[in-house]
Amino acid sequence: MGGMIITERPHRNFYGRRKGKHLKKSHEVYLNEDLMALSPGLVSWESNPARHNLDLIEMFTGRDIWLEIGFGGGEHVIHQAFENPQVGIIGCEPYINGVAMLLGKIRKASVNNLKIHPGDVRDMFDVLPQSSISKAFLLYPDPWPKSRHHRRRFVTSEHLEPLARVLKSGAEFRVATDIPDYVRQTLEEVPNSGFDLIDQGAEPWNDWICTRYEQKALRENRTPHYLTFRRF
């Protein structure tokens, strides 16, 4: 497949910290023993800005491919991988403790249709072929609550336009958040980047599994919102 050269990359991140204070010994083992084999094979923009598109047909043997943007502790992405063995799923997460947690879940579930990029999803956008993804998830993203930080949210054109490029026509894009202002910005920004709003409300999707972030929101009396969009 054709290559591409990225000459510059905004330094502004839409996520927070990269690593917690410490890793469990078991998590260090998972990272050392399992991560490389589950990587989609790309390198970060910082180490090599000239990269080739991924060969997704070879990677997932012709399956439909889904993408989860920031999988947190991995509860949802492992659930979807286990329940949908007929698809291939790529999960991106810059927080290394969350990556280690997912690796442990993969060992227990024994799924073989999941790849992990332990970093910025923008690296993935750079190497995914156009119109290659059938479904995408953005679940409880970093809310960046301060007004001056709203431009860091994922739901801006800086991130939505590359997402739209890699999604197939008709692909579904799901967003879950417990932050009312994030809902507002999502409803304003996503349709402007090539999506139709299909549904919004307080009821989750039929195949939903409650994540640790949603459990925290419910404990703190915040209302989850579930938004569904479709790529033009």
Distance CA 16, CA 154 (A): 12
> Is residue 6 over pLDDT 50?
no
Predicted local confidence at residue 170, as pLDDT: 98
Task: Give bridge partners of residue 116 from the DSSP assignment.
Answer: 91
Active site residues: 142
> Is residue 192 over pLDDT 90?
yes
Helix 96-109 to helix 75-83 angle (10° resolution) is 30
> Is residue 3 over pLDDT 50?
no
Q: What's 131's DSSP letter?
A: T
State the pTM of this model. 0.90
Task: Give bridge partners of residue 50 from the DSSP assignment.
Answer: 5
CATH of span 56-231: 3.40.50.150
Tens-digit pLDDT profile for residues 60-69: 999 999 999 9
- The Cα angle at residue 197 between residues 190 and 213, in degrees rounded to 5: 70
Cα end-to-end span (Å), the chain: 25
Spell out the domain ranges in the chain: 56-231
Distance CA 61, CA 59 (A): 6
> Is residue 49 over pLDDT 90?
no
State mean pLDDT over 109-127: 94
Distance CA 125, CA 15 (A): 16
pLDDT grade for 22, boundaries at 50, 70 and 90: confident
